[in-house]
Structure 1
Amino acid sequence: MSEAPFQTYRSQRKPRRSFDSRAAYLEHELSIMSPRRWRINLPFRDYRFELEDLVPALAATIGKIVMVAAVVAAFAGPLGLSNEFVVENVRFEMLIAALLFVILFSGLINPNANLAGTHGPMIPLIPLIVASGGHPLALGLMVGMFGLLLSVSKGGSKLMALTSDGVRGGLLIYLGAMGLLSQVKALNAWATGIDMGYVAFAVILSTIIMYALLARLEMRWLSIPLGSGIAFVIAIVLGAPFEFVTEPGIPHLSPGYWWGETTGWQMGWPELHHFVSVIPFAVLAVAMWSPDFMGHRVFQELNYPKKADKVLMNVDDTMGVASVRQAVGSVLGGGNLASSWGTYMIPAAIAKRPIPAGAVLTGLFCVIAALWGYPMDLAVWDPVLRVALIVGVFMPLLEAGMQMTRNTTSSQSAGIVVFASAFVNPVFGWSLTMLLDNLGLIGDKERGKKLRLMDRWVIPGITFAVLLVIMAMVGMLPGIPALMKIS
């Protein structure tokens, strides 16, 4: 009789001294794990904590503070809410994420589901959502509903299977390159704004040298804490202004406060027209999940040993957790828009660590940061923030994309993805190129011939058509006014 999964892990586990290198030990740990989907997974029985787990946990906490602040601030600006409101809501969101979802779901119940993070690509659309009469709670509930439908129908994994390596690689190259350029530009703008442009130059130069050395030593998993620490020290030594201003405390925890008429969001509970106005944006948000989730799983596939297929992120489960997290978080009063947590998954994959151990540490770090307050100031300081995102997210995205586009056919598809994404956005680029690629018009022509009719053009065609209509409705197509009337 075969052993149960937890017995298999414990019986096959070997101490570090049994291996010639740290990397070999970590790969063995990945290959013997058998996470239990939707059942209790316990530390030391089903997985262990390692020093490397601190890296994605730290990166995820920094990313969480930054991204949630950006989303909530994007809502707060058009609604006329204060910066104090933004800080308070971010702290509340971090407690929701940590206590109800990160530790509970990804750490204990389903280690194949990536942490539910923040939907960065939706940030530019938030002012349009508010202008069209949208309500944060209505938007959150609709995103949760549509996301759950996609998860239950396994639509996310289906779309991922229909996307070739060339399309995936091109998408990663575009996202990595654009993100890298945006962070360098933002850091330069910050330094110029305080009349200390040389600080940005020194920070970026030191980051390039550090990243190159870590790549040479095969220790890139250290790039986020080491890079952020070096950036902080260099900026302080060169005289850049910094101070701690967020004091320890507990945010408001009552949904009644957050959805009151004169407190919190000062909008009250949503009505029917609020739900109607956010439907196109909710559909678009969920549609954006597939390429985002796909990119995160690719990092595991590139960095994990081939025998570690049991610990790979399950796209549909991750969508399900993100959907529930979105709905519950919104009802409680949070302003976050959920997605797969990239600032966790990418460093974790590079460090060759599975999801659950780092998830538990991430949850603890988020609670500490939310209650203590001061770490939030450090995480959002430009030198620390920009370097963390550059070395922890965008450089790895760029490198992974290049690894996936080494032959002529994949590079052709990748080029079209980059072109189409630059023309409109990554959702347009992904859906259009997936259709062209599966039809055999670009990329590997033999691949298209092997696909069923449904997979070759029906599903990709419907996906592209639906997204095209939605983008036209909300005014995302260049030169075409929004078809949806904005009040």
Structure 2
Amino acid sequence: MSDKRATTYTDLSRPRAEFASRADYLEHELQVMSPKRWRPNLPGRDYRFEWEDLVPGMAATIGKIVMVAAIVGAFAAPLGLSSEFVIENVRFELIIAAVLFVILISGFLNPSANLAGTHGPLIPLVPLIVASGGHPMALGLLVGLFGFLLGVTKGGSLLARLTSNGVCGGLLLYLGFIGISGQVEKLFTWAQGFDKGYMAFVVLIATVVMYAWLEHIQKRWLAIPLGAGVAAVIALAMGAPFEFSTQPGVPNMNPAYWWGESTGWQLGWPDWSHFVAVLPFAVLAVAMWSPDFLGHQVFQKISYPQKTERVQMNIDDTMMAASTRQAVGSLLGGGNISSSWGTYIIPASIARRPIPAGAVVTGILCIVAAIWGYPMDLAVWPPVLSVALIVGVFLPLMEAGMQMTREGKTTQSAALVVISSVIVNPVFGWSFAMLLDNAGLVGCKDRAHELGKGGRWIIPGIAFIVLCAVMAVIGMFPGVPALLPAFR
């Protein structure tokens, strides 16, 4: 019995006072935790709350409001729905995600599953989905079905294992650079809208100096809340326009309202034609999950100390959680498209905190923001939004990518990912580079010989062919018309 007690978190955890630094204490917490998969995990018995959990909680809440608003807004615009509809659906989504999935699954039932966030790379395709006769519920249900099947068969973790450091590092570099470029452009566009373009320059320079200082004092996990605060103060001091407009309240929680023919989405319930229209997009959305989830897992591994495998994100569990969240959320009336929650897992990794405690904090903050209303206005304000995403997501992604491509011939594979992603998109870049890298045409040839026929050619080849076929059908190759007329 004594040996069994010695392996529990309660017995192995030690007070902060016994460690030379707080960093040592946090690392020890990660090493002694042993979360249970799909069984109850309780605060105090299986994990503790620390004030560092506020960092990913705040970052995730800001990111969630922004990303869901972008997805729902992309659906609403071609459907002729108002901005008030978008705000109400976002508030509805925040409560669904917080209560049913963030707190319940990642906080208590499976802390190895990262929070189910929003599928940002799919946002540009939403107008095409609507134009093709797609329906938000039909898309959500198919994404949930395909994602669950991939998670149950452990296909996501298999593709992750077949992705080399060079390919993954190149993907992180590309996503980080593109993300930073996009946010810088958006910030300047916002500032120039009221003839103060120099304001964006001042905010960005202050952000770079702040980030360098936090790196120097080894407090980089404070980048999101401190960066957002600095950006807001500077922008307000320089006369940027801002006002609170979202009133406190509770959104309509009735699915019949959201899927009514004259209320909510004003689309009614989907029929078989809607499912046919969104099928290629659902396949592509789930295919995008593997490189996205892999990037988050790798960043967590790089940020955590050794002997912390038990608390690291499980790709297959995350896929099943995201799939379930997607199907349930769509049935209830939400417009979100799920993926791994990057604005949570990246700040949590930097702060060296495990998933469950921060998940509970995130869920509570999402509920508060949804009901209170006013925090939503501040979270989507351009200086706060752009700076939070730059320092909390995209800069860390670039750093992780650089770290993964420092040794051996990984730079060859990384460069191939970047240029292929620029030519087409990250999904093509990842699958194409993985095929060539595993075949031994680029990168480390010794690694290729260890993979066997399945890992070298068969699985990467099938993944590449399927993805290319889907992208060709819906017209995602530059200069090449869609194969099906409905998507042209």
The equivalent residue for 2:83 is 83
Query: Where does 1:306-385 land on structure 2 (aligned, <5 Å)?
Result: 306-385=306-385
TM-fit CA distance, 1:119: 0.1
Runs of 4+ in 1 over 6 A off after TM superposition: none
The equivalent residue for 1:265 is 265
Question: Is the alpha carbon distance of 1:2 and 1:400 closer, same or farther for their aligned partners in structure 2, counting shifts above 3 Å?
Answer: farther
Aligned: 1:471 with 2:476 = no
Aligned: 1:227 with 2:227 = yes
Specify the SS of the correspondent of 1:338. Answer: coil
TM-fit CA distance, 1:245: 0.2
The equivalent residue for 1:208 is 208
TM-fit CA distance, 1:485: 2.1
Query: Where does 1:145-294 land on structure 2 (aligned, <5 Å)?
Result: 145-294=145-294
TM-fit CA distance, 1:407: 2.2
Cα distance in 1, alignment partners of residues 201 and 139 from structure 2: 41
Contact kept in structure 2, 1:5 and 1:35, CA below 8 Å: no
Tell me the alpha carbon deviations over residues 25-49 of structure 1, each in whole angstroms, 9 at most, x when there is no partner. 1000000000000000000110001
Contact kept in structure 1, 2:6 and 2:12, CA below 8 Å: no
TM-fit CA distance, 1:4: 5.1
TM-fit CA distance, 1:367: 0.1
Letter of the aligned partner of 2:421 in structure 1? Answer: S
Cα distance in 2, alignment partners of residues 306 and 384 from structure 1: 34
Cα distance in 1, alignment partners of residues 447 and 194 from structure 2: 54
Contact kept in structure 2, 1:6 and 1:45, CA below 8 Å: no
TM-fit CA distance, 1:479: 1.0
Aligned: 1:15 with 2:11 = no
Contact kept in structure 1, 2:5 and 2:11, CA below 8 Å: no
Letter of the aligned partner of 1:206 in structure 2? Answer: A
Tell me the alpha carbon deviations over residues 101-135 of structure 1, each in whole angstroms, 9 at most, x when there is no partner. 00000000000000000000000000111111100
Give the % identical residues: 67
Question: Is the alpha carbon distance of 1:156 and 1:18 closer, same or farther for their aligned partners in structure 2, counting shifts above 3 Å?
Answer: same
Letter of the aligned partner of 1:197 in structure 2? Answer: G
TM-score with structure 1 length normalisation?
0.99
Cα distance in 2, alignment partners of residues 323 and 368 from structure 1: 25
Letter of the aligned partner of 2:313 in structure 1? Answer: M
Contact kept in structure 2, 1:167 and 1:410, CA below 8 Å: yes
Specify the SS of the correspondent of 1:486. Answer: helix
Cα distance in 1, alignment partners of residues 151 and 2 from structure 2: 31
Cα distance in 2, alignment partners of residues 391 and 456 from structure 1: 37
Cα distance in 1, alignment partners of residues 226 and 2 from structure 2: 44
Cα distance in 2, alignment partners of residues 326 and 211 from structure 1: 35
TM-fit CA distance, 1:8: 1.5
Letter of the aligned partner of 2:401 in structure 1? Answer: G
The equivalent residue for 1:416 is 416
TM-fit CA distance, 1:5: 7.9
Aligned: 1:96 with 2:96 = yes
Tell me the alpha carbon deviations over residues 409-444 of structure 1, each in whole angstroms, 9 at most, x when there is no partner. 101100000010001000000000000000000000
Tell me the alpha carbon deviations over residues 276-296 of structure 1, each in whole angstroms, 9 at most, x when there is no partner. 111100000000000000011
The equivalent residue for 1:404 is 404
Cα distance in 1, alignment partners of residues 229 and 108 from structure 2: 31
The equivalent residue for 1:50 is 50
The equivalent residue for 1:387 is 387
CA RMSD after TM alignment = 1.0
Cα distance in 1, alignment partners of residues 105 and 87 from structure 2: 26
Specify the SS of the correspondent of 1:294. Answer: helix
Contact kept in structure 2, 1:117 and 1:339, CA below 8 Å: yes
Letter of the aligned partner of 1:167 in structure 2? Answer: V
Cα distance in 2, alignment partners of residues 78 and 316 from structure 1: 34
Contact kept in structure 2, 1:6 and 1:46, CA below 8 Å: no
TM-fit CA distance, 1:76: 0.3
Structure 1 unmatched runs, 5+:
none
Structure 2 unmatched runs, 5+:
none
Contact kept in structure 2, 1:40 and 1:108, CA below 8 Å: yes
Cα distance in 2, alignment partners of residues 220 and 80 from structure 1: 42
Contact kept in structure 1, 2:89 and 2:334, CA below 8 Å: yes
The equivalent residue for 1:132 is 132
TM-score with structure 2 length normalisation?
0.99
